Amino acid sequence: QGIDPSTINENDDSNYAGTVLMATVKGDVHDIGKNIVSVVLGCNNYKVYDIGVMVPCETILEKAKEYNVDVIGLSGLITPSLDEMVVVAKEMSKAGFKQPLMIGGATTSKMHTAVKISPNYFTLDHPVIHVLDASRLITIVSSLLGVDKEDFVE
């Protein structure tokens, strides 16, 4: 016996492993990596809110609150994107966000994330994680949302 599609509530996130907001930061139009990440998440039962490219900080914060997401992912390919990611992290901290923040893109690095972005937002409750590539993504997101989150973050 199947389920009648008209009876499914599109706003019910309870059947998903988690919810993730994905955005390419303001000043950057590149989205291939973000799109790959979104597909990988979707194929692993995560609900993805992909809010596009050239997304201003205010919109990222607004949509994260609106969708009440579990994790926020920022993407960028060009060097100015790195500075915009710092701005987003600072504003997330000011606004009292508690979601883990994932950073990815061609110009991003573990070092830049640790030195420039993390000091503005990181805690054990809401870490900042550099995601090297989509193949590591599901392990990272499931660890961030799992019971062993603190062990993973440390």
> What are the residue numbers of the active site?
28, 30, 81
Using DSSP, state whether 55 is helix, strand or coil: strand
Alpha carbons within 13 A on the beta-carbon side of 22: 28
Q: Alpha carbon of 149 to those of 6, 14, 86, 124, 139: distances in Å? A: 37, 20, 23, 8, 11
SS3 content of the chain, % helix, strand, coil (to 5): 45, 15, 40
Q: What is the DSSP string of 139-154?
A: HHHHHHHSTTHHHHH-
What would the two tokens of residue 152 be? 């993973």
Integer Cα distance of 10 and 140 in angstroms: 26
Whether the Cβ atoms of residue 143 and residue 71 lie closer than 8 Å to each other: no
